[in-house]
Amino acid sequence: MNQLTHQPAWHQLAKCRGMDPHLFESDHWPLPRLRKEGWTSPDDLASTLCHGCPVLAECALDAAEADVLPYGTLRGGVMIAEMHAIGRWGDRVDHIRARLMKAAGRG
């Protein structure tokens, strides 16, 4: 934990560090903008923004533990809406693990 920013140390290693945080909120993803940028869906955007991130698992698990993130936020390659729909924390972790394996080409 960084004592000055109160953020976990893994934040400094995130691929998205320094990016506009609004990129990760679905309110800022009107379909015409997604298509203009070459993305066909929020999942496509998630793959682009999160693919290859060295702390993808830490980010996704952090999001699974946080029940205060806005609905429609992208974290660790997973939409918060998916996590809320899954419900129980253990089931969320299993879902995230499956998504991470798929992203790594092992699922």
Residue 63 lies in a domain: yes
Residue 73 lies in a domain: yes
Residue 35 lies in a domain: yes
Residue 88 lies in a domain: yes
What is the tally of structural domains in the chain? Answer: 1
Domain of residue 48, residue span: 21-104
Inter-CA distances, 59 with 35, 37, 91, Å: 26, 24, 17
Residue 78 lies in a domain: yes
Q: Model confidence over 15-72: pLDDT tens digits?
A: 989 888 777 777 766 666 667 777 776 667 777 788 889 998 888 878 777 766 666 7
Residue 6 lies in a domain: no
Residue 9 lies in a domain: no
Of 77 and 35, which is predicted with more confidence?
77
pTM metric for this prediction: 0.62
Residue 5 lies in a domain: no
CA-derived radius of gyration, the chain: 14
